[in-house]
Structure formats: structure tokens, C-alpha cells
Amino acid sequence: MLRVEKHVPGDFCWIELATTDQTSAKKFYSELFGWDIHEFTMAPNDFFTFKMDGCDVAAAYTLPAEQRSQGVPAHWNLYVEVENADAAAGRAAKLGAKVLAAPFDVFDAGRVAVLQDPTGAV
């Protein structure tokens, strides 16, 4: 397995599954890829990571009811490394993106924003 110690700006650096059925997602991806499951006690049955050879490869969380009620399906979120999330979100907006969620802190992992590009991709 390729092990990446550091990402450079522009790299896809993390993936996260928003699922409506954690039990099925855990079963499917662990059987498909051989991924192990690491549950978080801070949010049991809400957030977990997939691991391979002891390394995190992805995370998963339960898609919030509010999003489900708006028709948002289960999906994968992709994260791109940037030097500064606030500056990148501002630059994206000037280039025609819609900022769906302004930059915010994610524990000690850094800052993220949710953007919709000019073609509608989120």
C-alpha cells in the first residue's frame, strides 16, 4: 500500500463516506477492500474510520437527517490539500464557485470548506 507522509497543495488528501446505513457500509467496504473498522467513542454509530495495514484510508459518518430530507443521497466527500482554506475558498468564490460552508475547524485536522464549482459539482 502506498503510504503518503505529506500532501502538497492540489493533492487529494482525504476521502469520507456520508452514508445512510453504517452497518451495510462497514460490511460492504470491509469485504470489498479488506478494510478494518475503527469506531470512535465520541460518536458511536455515527463516525468511524476505515483502516488498512493499520493506516487510516477513509472516514465515514451518518448522513444527517436534514440533508436526507433535502434529497441528498449517500456520497463520498473528497478533500484537496491547500495552504490556507480561507484564502482558497475566497479564490474559488471569485472564480465562480459557491461557498456552501465557509471554512471551519475540524478538530486538530485543520480547516475545511464546502464548495460547489461553477458546473454544479460539490
- The domain that holds 24 is classified in CATH as 3.10.180.10
Q: Which CA distances in Å does 84 have to 7, 100, 104, 111?
A: 13, 17, 11, 8
What is the DSSP secondary structure assignment for residue 53, as one 8-state letter? T
Say what the pLDDT of residue 108 is.
84
Give the predicted TM-score (pTM) of the model.
0.85
Say what the pLDDT of residue 61 is.
93
Question: How many domains does the chain contain in total?
Answer: 2
Domain assignment of residue 65, given as a range: 12-81
Written as nine digits, the cell of 114 is 464546502
Does 16 share its domain with 72?
A: yes
Query: Do residues 50 and 35 touch, judged by C-beta distance below 8 A?
Result: yes
Does 102 share its domain with 70?
A: no
3-state DSSP assignment of residue 28: helix
Query: Do residues 30 and 14 touch, judged by C-beta distance below 8 A?
Result: no
Query: Is 2 contained in some domain?
Result: no
Does 89 share its domain with 77?
A: no
Does 33 share its domain with 57?
A: yes
Does 77 share its domain with 35?
A: yes
Does 68 share its domain with 96?
A: no
* Residue ranges for the chain with pLDDT beneath 70: 1-2, 42-45
Query: Is 3 contained in some domain?
Result: no
